[in-house]
Amino acid sequence: MVTLTLMPIEHVPVLATELLDVLDPHPGETAIDCTFGGGGHAQEIAERVGSGGTLIAIDRDPVAEQRFAELEDELEPQTRFVRADFADALVALGEEGVRADVIYLDLGVSSLQLDAAERGFSYSYDAPLDMRMDPDQDLDAREIVNGWEERRLAQLFRRYGE
């Protein structure tokens, strides 16, 4: 298991006003944040669903889970964190009978990953190439780039290198 340190962050969510306008969450609703990250969007949604609502946060990054633990007591709604890939978590929640009024995803790499040298996402640090969203996974980018054959890398980039 990889140990990561959680540095204090000032998370400013991108397009938060637009997200609230589009989703228009109401008091008492159930919201699922599929990519919790630093929790900025979740905090905004939590204010809207209030004490009668529910906020379920999903993220596979242990730093996001730590961030959730820091924020949990400040949030009014009933809360829950699921550490998993959002696709798997949504299936599991559905099987539990959870029904959401609001579901949203903020896809891409977050500042939680970019700002931590040990995560190996940024060019700003001289650090080993890692790039795992979940640092407990075995396969990292260093192994892929340095260990895979050129043909296999070309297939990977062609298929997923949008």
Average pLDDT (2-18) is 64
Q: What are the residues facing 33 on neighbouring strands? A: 57, 104
**CA atoms 21, 27, 33, 36: torsion sign:** positive
CA distance 46 to 23: 13
Higher pLDDT: 98 or 130? It is 98
Average pLDDT (119-123) is 74
Indicate whether 146 pLDDT > 50: yes
Confidence of residue 151 (pLDDT cuts 50, 70, 90): very high
Q: What are the residues facing 32 on neighbouring strands? A: 56, 103
Secondary structure (3-state) at 80:
strand
Considering the domain 16-108, what is its CATH architecture?
3-Layer(aba) Sandwich (3.40)
Domain ranges of the chain: 16-108, 113-160
Q: pLDDT, tens digit, for every residue of 42-84?
A: 999 999 999 999 999 999 989 899 999 999 999 999 999 999 9
Q: What is the pLDDT of residue 117?
A: 76
Lowest mean pLDDT among 66-80, 102-116, 133-147: 102-116
Percent of the chain clearing pLDDT 70 (strictly above): 91
CA nearest 106: which of 17, 10, 7, 19?
19
Q: What is the pLDDT of residue 10?
A: 59
Residue 31 CB-density burial (10 A; 0-12 exposed, 13-18 middle, 19+ buried)? buried
